[in-house]
Every structure is written in structure tokens, then in C-alpha cells.
């Protein structure tokens, strides 16, 4: 029998989209013949993912899981192609199980998550491929974020399964932590404090403000003061602590925290499909592709 190497398994996975263990089993069954393994996977229904692996998946679910003591928590983004599939029980069960496994194994590394045991000796990646075959859509575990509390607790807020945030506060006020997490989902702050805003973002805004101010025709020293003022205003707007609290705009988040004797230690926000664009595809070409695929 031919020796099945890692490179053979890798190539078969790339060509079929099937899970690693399924690819290895298929190669073993056909004595390492790559084309025969592809045929076997297709016959078994496990290679249906291949045609869908490159399709845009920006729907799905943001899943939040936490330990009972609320000291460790994770946000996981699991994507599919349509809201219809995203709301289905099969997809939701898969996404929630992925979140539970990631928390249980204390990992936010997607590559590691994909190899975790899911059920019946199959990995997350293998089950993912099976769900693709069953549901007919590309499914991806895209991102995961984990935080641990040093002294306080972690609260969360998930908006319609599409935007999620988790916040660590320094005390055990869960309602406060949830309120701040809700605020984070609504306002999408760039940093905790104005001085924490990334320098590259500040520089980018400064260039924009400078170009706008230059159009005023005012002297350089006046323009410099205008830009400085705009930057200071910008930093307050995008820093969590200086933002007006969404449930009471008369009060800043910092003032709310001080009234509760608490601090925000860290926060994470994750929005569905963030930073990814849907690939625009010619409808006629897509139909033709599907017709050709059905003949194979």
C-alpha cells in the first residue's frame, strides 16, 4: 500500500474542500490515487464543499461563550452565505458547538479550533465540510477572540446575532458589564482612552483634517490650531471612556464607571462580515457554472 503523506492530504483538501481525516481515509481506500480519492469523496458527498469554498460568506452568527464564574470568555464568528441558512437550527447548532469547544480548550486560534474533536471522532473541520454538503453553502469559522479577567468579571451583549462585544470590569457588577458591552456594540470605539487610539489612525485623520482646513485659505498657524482641535475632538469621539453613554447621553462612560466604583480593563467587539466584501459575480456565468457542475 502506498504511503499517504501530509502533502497528498493537503492537495486533496485544496481540491475538494473535504475535511483532513476524510481526505486521509479516501487516499487510504484507493491506495494513494489522487483522482480516485476525489471521485470517492464526491461519491460520498464530502467534496461538495469544493465548489462553494471560494464563495463569499459574510452572513452567519457571532457566538459568545463564558465560564460559569465569568472569568474567561470568547467571541467566535462563524459565517455562511445567506441569512436563511444562518437562522437555521443546523447552522446555529454548529456555531454554538464551535464556541463551546473553543472555550473548553482555551483557544482562540482558528487553525487549532478547526482540528478540535467535534463528534464521533470527527474534527470541527470535517463536520464543517459535512455541513457545507448538507446546507449547500460555504461555511467558515473566521475569527475568535478570548479574554480573561484578572480580578473582576466579563459581561457581554450580542445584537441580533450579528454584532457582539465582551467587556471586563474591575468589580462583580454584571449589569454594568453588560451595559458597557451594549454601548460598545452600538458605538464601536477604537480604544479605551484617547491616548490609546492607534497612531496610524490618528495620522490618517490628521491628513484628512489638514486637507480640509487648507481649503479655508487661512494662515498656516490658524490651520494648525484648527487641525489640533479637530484631532482632540476626534479622539474623544472614538475612545470608549470619553463617549456619551448610550443609555444616558448626559453622562460619559467614564463618569458612569466612577459612579459604580469600577473600571473597564479591556473590551472586544466583533461584527459579522467586518472588513470583507461580497464578491460580485455575473449571474449568467454562475448559472452556467452550476449547469456544468451538474453534468460531472
The CATH number of the domain covering residues in 59-174+265-271: 3.30.479.20
What is the phi/psi pair of residue 243, to 5°?
A: -80, 145
In this prediction, residue 55 carries a pLDDT of 61
CB 65 within 8 A of CB 131: no
The x, y and z cell numbers of residue 33, run together, are 490515487
User: CA separation (Å) from 234 to 185, 190, 197, 224?
Assistant: 19, 11, 10, 15
The x, y and z cell numbers of residue 289, run together, are 457554472
CB 16 within 8 A of CB 23: yes
In this prediction, residue 286 carries a pLDDT of 47
DSSP for residue 48? G
CB 272 within 8 A of CB 60: yes
What are the residue boundaries of the structural domains of the chain, listed by start? 6-51, 59-174+265-271, 194-263
Per-residue confidence band for 209, with pLDDT thresholds at 50, 70 and 90: confident
Give per-residue pLDDT as tens, 136-170.
888 999 999 999 998 899 999 999 999 999 999 99
Average of pLDDT values for 69-79?
97
CATH of 6-51, one of 3.40.50.9100, 3.40.50.720, 3.30.1130.10, 1.10.8.10: 1.10.8.10
pLDDT for residue 282 is more than 60: no
Give per-residue pLDDT as tens, 47-70.
555 555 556 678 999 999 999 999
Amino acid at each position: 500500500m502506498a504511503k499517504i503523506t501530509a502533502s497528498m492530504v493537503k492537495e486533496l483538501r485544496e481540491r475538494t474542500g473535504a475535511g483532513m481525516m476524510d481526505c486521509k481515509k479516501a487516499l487510504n481506500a484507493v491506495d494513494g490515487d489522487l483522482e480516485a480519492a476525489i471521485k470517492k469523496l464526491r461519491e460520498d458527498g464530502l467534496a461538495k464543499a469544493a465548489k462553494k469554498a471560494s464563495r463569499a460568506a459574510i452572513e452567519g452568527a457571532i457566538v459568545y461563550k463564558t465560564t460559569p464564574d465569568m472569568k474567561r470568555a470568547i467571541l467566535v464568528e462563524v459565517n455562511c452565505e445567506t441569512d436563511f441558512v444562518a437562522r437555521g437550527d443546523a447552522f446555529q447548532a454548529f456555531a454554538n458547538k464551535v464556541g463551546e469547544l473553543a472555550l473548553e480548550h482555551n483557544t482562540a486560534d482558528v487553525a487549532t479550533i478547526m482540528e478540535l474533536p467535534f463528534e464521533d471522532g470527527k474534527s470541527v473541520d470535517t463536520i464543517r465540510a459535512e455541513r457545507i454538503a448538507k446546507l449547500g453553502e460555504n461555511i467558515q469559522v473566521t475569527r475568535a477572540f478570548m479574554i480573561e479577567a484578572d480580578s473582576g468579571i466579563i459581561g457581554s451583549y450580542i445584537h441580533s446575532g450579528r454584532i457582539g462585544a465582551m467587556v471586563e470590569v474591575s468589580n462583580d457588577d454584571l449589569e454594568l458589564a453588560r451595559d458597557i458591552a451594549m454601548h460598545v456594540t452600538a458605538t464601536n470605539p477604537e480604544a479605551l482612552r484617547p491616548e490609546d487610539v492607534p497612531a496610524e489612525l490618528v495620522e490618517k485623520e490628521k491628513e484628512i483634517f489638514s486637507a480640509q482646513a487648507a481649503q479655508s485659505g487661512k494662515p498656516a498657524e490658524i490651520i494648525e490650531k484648527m487641525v489640533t482641535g479637530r484631532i482632540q475632538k476626534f479622539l474623544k469621539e472614538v475612545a470608549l471612556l470619553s463617549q456619551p453613554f448610550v443609555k444616558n447621553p448626559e453622562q460619559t462612560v467614564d463618569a458612569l464607571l466612577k459612579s459604580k466604583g469600577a473600571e473597564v480593563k479591556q473590551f472586544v467587539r466583533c461584527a459579522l462580515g467586518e472588513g470583507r466584501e461580497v464578491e460580485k459575480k455575473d449571474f449568467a456565468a454562475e448559472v452556467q457554472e452550476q449547469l456544468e457542475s451538474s453534468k460531472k
